[in-house]
Chain A
Amino acid sequence: MVTVEHLYHSYSKDDVYAVKNVSFDIPKGEVFGFLGPSGAGKSTTQGILTGLLRLQRGQVTVAGYDVKAMKRKMFNQIGMSFEQSNVYSKMTARENLRFYARLFDVPTRDPDELLKIVGLDGKGSMRAGEFSKGMKHRLTFARSMLNNPELWFLDEPTTGLDPAIAAEIKGIVKEENQKGVTVFLTTHNMYIADELCNRVAFIVDGEIKLIDSPKSLKLQYGQSLVEVEYGDDGHLSSETFSTVDERDKVSLQELIATKHIRTMHTKEATLEEIFIKVTGRELA
């Protein structure tokens, strides 16, 4: 669905690159996470893929279209939810969605249905200017689904949302992905990336440092240990066992059989820990 080869971009049009030698591809139906701190080159890459920035150097194909000779009809197949909410504040939520729906050449979704999906049911007649930041964000998110996109660009889709709404948004992304929608997720939130992405790319200083699935990364960079908390004569004790050492395996089985186990956790690394280990930089 997306192919990027040796992508470079310089805002000053010199050797100072915001993005340098970036290559990756996203097969249809995948949720691909683009992880990096602010200024890493995430938005620049996304800008080029969506045609907001002119391609300077490299090869980029999006939804079967060469970005260098981009056709407007390409946008019938893609949707984009921006990090900063960008809706007409003087128009109502419904008017906003209706207006954008008319700009597509493909069948579009019912604005009221979308408002309901993002939890803005009953707010259709309210002007977007009267919305809270979170509500505007949800309206921006709903707009990105209008044309049933095959390729969905999500830029920090849960930023600034309360946990309940963020969970709903994640649920919608999963649901759409199950229908076959390809998702390009740009975020610095490792939890959402871990939960949603089939693969993630770590980008720092305009360069991709690593691309892999969260599961594989955790196995690769995590420790093979299990931490167990158990009750021992009225006291709470804890022990750590290796999951590869044979003696530890036996001891763990013995402990499970004889003690009252309170908690048991594998000591796998979080994506953030892996990011720091690989790039030497923090995500935030």
Chain B
Amino acid sequence: MKLWSSFVKELIIASRGFYFYVEVLMAFVLLFVLLFVIPENYVSKTDEYLYLDFPSAAIEQKYIDAFKDSDGQSDIVLLKVGTDELPARLYETAEQRIYLLESEEAMARLAEDRHKIGAAVIMDADDYELHYTYYLQGNEAPRLKGLLKILHGQDDTALIAAAETQTVRTLTEAQVYLNDRENLLPVFLAFNGSLMGFFVIAAYIFLDKKEGVIKAYAITPSPIWQYLLSKVLVLTVTMLVTSLLLITPLMGGRINYLVMIVFLITTGLFASGLGLIIAGYFDDMAKSFSAMFLLMIALMLPTLAYFAPGWDPLWLKFVPSYYIIFGFKEIIIQGDMGFVMLLSLGYLLLSAVLFTWSIARFKRTLTV
């Protein structure tokens, strides 16, 4: 009954406060970004600037027809460089926008102005041999520069034949690929849903410290753990609402919601526990800023491993947010639910340790 009263009181305060609406607004902003800003499958097209000089239009057209995926259709466009407008023929493929310029000088100006790679392909009218001149920015990877050097060193046909004889074998058949929106969801959930909680609960407690209401609570028969737990419960409810607000429009009925809710709750409890510890050791938000900032940076590090799988050192796996992000991903790809439940148990145990620690800390620091 006392816990329920404290919980209701916290809900009232949260609904009349600033942080609750920040969390809800943040969830809406992230949802908006996911649905309307990030395309389901993001494909970036590169711009390439070419100058072609062939002995005849027929040979040039044959060269153009060899552009991968091009339908052979082109548009005449005007490209602005400073005050000048340079005419170009634009061919689009699935991955490239290829601009054919009227002169080598125009191609070089555009490459310089747009910081892109340019090339002049000239066919000798006597021996019909192709000559390539590349305009690079200088910051290209050494591998690309090396490739361009050797590319024309031997017969193209030999290179193509060699490539065709290579066998590419997929080792993991059950590989699940997420679209770009789904791929961002685990990170958004980890930070908006779970880790935001540690910041917000600390803010709530600092507000109570400022108003002195913790001392008033301490002079009642209600134990301090109920005071702390009521805050954790409110944070958990808020986090569940805001996270489901993000999840349901994106994932629909394609995930196991029971596992998702269990994982959201346990990771939320863990994040709240971190917030309680911070709030127990500092008097106000300003004094806790350095600790909060460092913790936030540390917790964000696993995001790098998530987006750049090539960088995944062993020590990173000891940062608690690592398994929060990968746990959410596992649920979204409908992977090993047993593993997620095991993670949930781990976070629940960690939360219990943090909660016990924070109770001991708060009991000791209720100064007059």
**Residues of A in contact with B (beta carbons under 8 Å apart):** 43-44, 46-47, 50-54, 72-76, 78-80, 82, 84-91, 95, 99-100, 102-105, 140, 143
Chain A residues within an 8 Å CB radius of B5: 99, 102-103
Assembly CA distance A79 to B366 (angstroms)? 17
Q: Which of A44, A50, A88 contacts B213 (CB 8 A)?
A: A88
Chain B residues within an 8 Å CB radius of A76: 221
Most B Cβ at <10 Å: residue of A43, A50, A82, A88: A88
Judge if B215 is at the interface, Cβ distance under 8 Å. yes
Judge if B219 is at the interface, Cβ distance under 8 Å. yes
Cβ-defined contact, A103 with B213, below 8 A: no
Cβ-defined contact, A99 with B9, below 8 A: yes
**Total residues of chain B contacting the partner, CB 8 A:** 25
Assembly CA distance A76 to B219 (angstroms)? 9
Cβ-defined contact, A90 with B13, below 8 A: yes
Cβ-defined contact, B219 with A105, below 8 A: no
Judge if B167 is at the interface, Cβ distance under 8 Å. no
Across the interface, name the chain A residue whose C-beta is closest to B220: A103
Q: Residues 21-33 of chain B: 1 if any A CB is under 8 Å from the residue's CB, otherwise 0?
A: 0000000000000
Given A44-B368, A52-B367, A86-B216, do A75 and B221 touch, yes or no (CB 8 Å)? yes
**Residues of B in contact with A (beta carbons under 8 Å apart):** 1-2, 5-6, 9, 12-13, 16-17, 211-213, 215-223, 364, 366-368
A-B complex: 9 closest residue pairs judged by Cβ atoms: A86-B212, A47-B368, A102-B5, A103-B220, A103-B222, A90-B16, A80-B219, A75-B221, A72-B221
Assembly CA distance A88 to B212 (angstroms)? 9
Assembly CA distance A52 to B220 (angstroms)? 11
Given A103-B5, A103-B221, A105-B221, do A87 and B211 touch, yes or no (CB 8 Å)? yes
Cβ-defined contact, A143 with B216, below 8 A: yes
Assembly CA distance A78 to B221 (angstroms)? 10
Cβ-defined contact, B368 with A43, below 8 A: yes
A107 to chain B, nearest CB (A): 13
Cβ-defined contact, B221 with A104, below 8 A: yes
B70 to chain A, nearest CB (A): 64
Assembly CA distance A54 to B364 (angstroms)? 7
Chain B residues within an 8 Å CB radius of A73: 221
Chain B residues within an 8 Å CB radius of A74: 221
Given A43-B368, A91-B12, do A102 and B1 touch, yes or no (CB 8 Å)? yes
B264 to chain A, nearest CB (A): 27
Given A72-B221, A88-B9, do A52 and B366 touch, yes or no (CB 8 Å)? yes
Across the interface, name the chain B residue whose C-beta is closest to A86: B212
